[in-house]
Homo-oligomer: A and B are copies of this chain.
């Protein structure tokens, strides 16, 4: 089928609105829609996707089109008063693809179709610049040959290079007319040689072959690859749009430009764009001439500007979003070539969405759907002051690039160890922690550092995951770095050059870009964070917009959003960003500070019960203080505390120096300590002696932790704080594990509450992070007051992917389209999601009102949040700084259902 469009036409109205995109493609739909509402678009017609589908199937050009195309061309010629291939007022057309889903750059486009000897003469006669006409012809020949005849470009490039040398010019556009004429002759000769037929002067043949080429391009390799990666159906097909060309370079009173209906950087409601007089679109892109700001058009062509101003306003209102508009003025006549939703920064997105609601142009729901949750982190992280960074790069201080794992800007002195990070931090020095890769022991150092840089690891490595949780700028996998932690030297070799940095040297890292820069660059914390902390002076439009949008999201969403927080500071941030509780408080993170790790080690290597209980008693004192501080901040909100999870060997010393230290403190020999450490090491620690297995084999550890939690809760309760402790058992796979741990907890609680003379409400629940637990959820639910999915570990076990090791094959897997995404970032619906659904169904069969949440890394990924909403979870829990993402994503999930 074909559909004609021109200003005020409404042929496509008969197609159901919901089907238009699939039939006309995205571009065609918008063009037809603009035409319908009276916007001046160059006229043209759309060949619907079914023709392409038929062609893909049969490899035969659809018969019906042989009749329809000439009719549509006639209508087009009539509408615009020009004729294809004519010597007077010749019509040129563009032939473009336009799929139902945007596939930028994946398929072919042919411009200036209709040029031949006759029409060239016609254009020149009409007053077109001859140089421009011939150059257009040359480009048409080249595009046509490449796209349609599939002749490699290299032959054409050789010809043009030869002529550039001959004419002693550097740029294509500098070639003299004489050269152009010779080039055209040579191009035609090349075409005849390569395709065994001469270039068709007949414009009808040109057109038909161009359309067929577009059909073919739907199944070119890169389009197939793109669709596979982006999960786009191969069955959609593309529409083809044949549209009259208009010229912004046709004498005075012509021009071309691009405009956004609002500022795409700041979101300010001011028309924003630029234009060039007497130019074509390509000239704007090529950057040879400097365009003028759109405001200048008001003076140069006041009527045209007034018309454009009205239209852009109308388009924004009509399409209910900030628009990115391309236009051309041909002899004082304005044409809108394209409109689409404009790309924008995170800040702009939030401001535009809220202001458009305030202007009554859209409703709150539309506003919510307009903001990409992924853009939010950019609003909240500190940034380098741009001018300073640009200057540093200009001065050659960019030393390397790594993977941009966590956005944000950080600078400081290089440290190679957690200890030094803590020490220098205490002296108010800013530090960047540089490591080959990080391990759980580095958490303290990461806490103190302004940023983290590693030579190894991918986007889901330990460093990346932990830094993301802390919202610390982080660059990982910068393999060019040579780090000698022993010699305290970091060096980079590039070609012959070798730069070395020693401990204490200043560097700056931009986690948003992966740039590593020599020297210390000044940063500033985000405006919103300053505002939320009460540090921002004056009015903050963006902060107000942010809070407004978040409040709308909260009105809409069903899913609660909690935060993963291990410290009072994190808890505070979480509340700032709207968390309604802590969904995961990891107690082990409290054990890594210098004093406590020693107690922990004493506990682990204890050879008598007394020694072990003594160490535990001292740890209890620390843990209780930790919990009191967290409960205090979280007054009135639930706090889910996970009992000790990692295998014990993670706490043990790893090198002779540490053996010696522990030996000194415990009186045990170094050899004994070493042996004990080696003995506890595991082949597959992920599947080892950890989680509730520790609590089962060492119940005294569970007892200590529960005492610390509940006595802290009771003490804070006595001080008038509302505490809601939820004790969470990790790595349960068998109902009896939970049954035994729960009994232990309840016994300790009963005894403690009697002793302290105060009752307290607490819950006991379990992580669901082992496939067996999901399958046995009905039985496990008997002993659980809540479930919390640990999707990190559940992904590792369900897929048999070690998060730490999967980098070696995962990228290739994604390239091959086996997995569409990194399953540690975006939940694997088919596998892990299936287990989650099974667990929910079975768990609720036992306890209909079971509270169910998720506290893995996926808790703030919008696509995953959408799944959690659909699956009927009660809450997600994520890093404090990612709480706003989750709030917005939860609202979008609700709306998109």
Contact = CB atoms under 8 A, between A and B. Distances in A.
Interface of A: 682-689, 693, 696-697, 731, 733-734, 736-737, 740, 769-772, 775-776, 779, 793, 796-802, 804-806, 808-809, 812-813, 816-819, 828, 830-832, 834-835
A697 B808 CA distance: 9
B696 A802 contact: no
Given A696-B813, A816-B736, A816-B740, A684 B805 contact: yes
Contact of A772 (B772, B779, B799): B799
Contacts of A806: 687-689
Contact of A796 (B687, B775, B813, B830): B687
A674 to B, nearest CB: 16
A812 B731 contact: no
Given A737-B818, A818-B696, A683 B770 contact: no
A651 to B, nearest CB: 15
B696 A830 contact: no
A834 B733 CA distance: 13
A684 B647 CA distance: 13
B771 A802 contact: no
Contact of A831 (B736, B772, B812, B816): B772
Given A733-B799, A805-B689, A817-B736, A775 B831 contact: yes
Contacts of A779: 830
A775 B835 contact: yes
Given A733-B831, A771-B835, A772-B831, A805 B682 contact: yes
A884 to B, nearest CB: 32
Contact of A740 (B770, B798, B818, B834): B818
A727 B775 CA distance: 31
B802 A687 contact: yes
Nearest to A819: B734
Contacts of A740: 816, 818
B798 A772 contact: yes
Contact of A800 (B797, B799, B808, B816): B797
A818 B689 contact: no
Contacts of A736: 816-818
Nearest to A439: B683
Contact of A802 (B682, B812, B818, B832): B682
Nearest to A688: B805
A818 B780 CA distance: 13
Given A686-B800, A686-B802, 14 more contacts: A683-B685, A683-B802, A684-B687, A684-B805, A697-B812, A733-B800, A734-B818, A734-B831, A772-B798, A772-B799, A772-B830, A772-B832, A793-B800, A797-B800
Nearest to A731: B800
A696 B809 contact: yes
A805 B691 CA distance: 14
**Among A740, A772, A799, residue most surrounded by chain B Cβ atoms (within 10 Å):** A772
Contacts of A834: 775-776
A816 to B, nearest CB: 7
Contacts of A804: 682-684
Contacts of A797: 687, 771, 797-798, 800
A688 to B, nearest CB: 4
A830 B737 CA distance: 15
Contacts of A682: 802, 804-805
A835 B805 CA distance: 25
Contacts of A817: 736
A763 to B, nearest CB: 23
A641 B798 CA distance: 25
Contacts of A819: 734
Q: Which of A688, A805, A809, A828 has the most CB of B within 10 A?
A: A805
Contacts of A770: 798-800
A477 B684 CA distance: 19
A684 B693 CA distance: 18
A805 B697 contact: no
Contact of A687 (B686, B771, B775, B816): B686
A685 B686 CA distance: 10
A350 to B, nearest CB: 37
B685 A816 contact: no
Name, among A682, A687, A689, A775, the residue most crowded by chain B CB atoms within 10 Å (CB to CB).
A687
A687 B687 CA distance: 9
A683 B737 CA distance: 26
Contacts of A737: 818
Contacts of A796: 684, 687
Most buried by B among A684, A770, A775, A806: A684
16 contacts: A684-B687, A684-B805, A687-B801, A688-B806, A688-B808, A689-B808, A689-B809, A696-B813, A736-B816, A769-B800, A771-B799, A771-B835, A776-B830, A776-B834, A797-B798, A797-B800
Nearest to A834: B775
Contacts of A775: 798, 830-831, 834-835
A752 to B, nearest CB: 24
Contact of A696 (B798, B800, B801, B812): B812
Contact of A805 (B683, B696, B769, B802): B683
Contacts of A686: 683-684, 687, 800, 802
A737 B796 CA distance: 17
Given A684-B802, A800-B731, A776 B809 contact: no
Report the 10 A-B pairs with minimum CB-CB distance, sorted nearest first: A772-B831, A687-B802, A684-B802, A683-B804, A771-B771, A688-B805, A682-B805, A770-B800, A736-B818, A684-B686
Contacts of A696: 809, 812-813, 816, 818
Contacts of A828: 772
A831 B797 CA distance: 13
Contacts of A771: 771, 797-800, 831, 835
A732 to B, nearest CB: 10
Interface centre among A796, A798, A812 (most CB of B within 10 A): A798
A820 to B, nearest CB: 10
A799 B683 CA distance: 16
A817 B683 CA distance: 26
Contacts of A688: 802, 805-806, 808
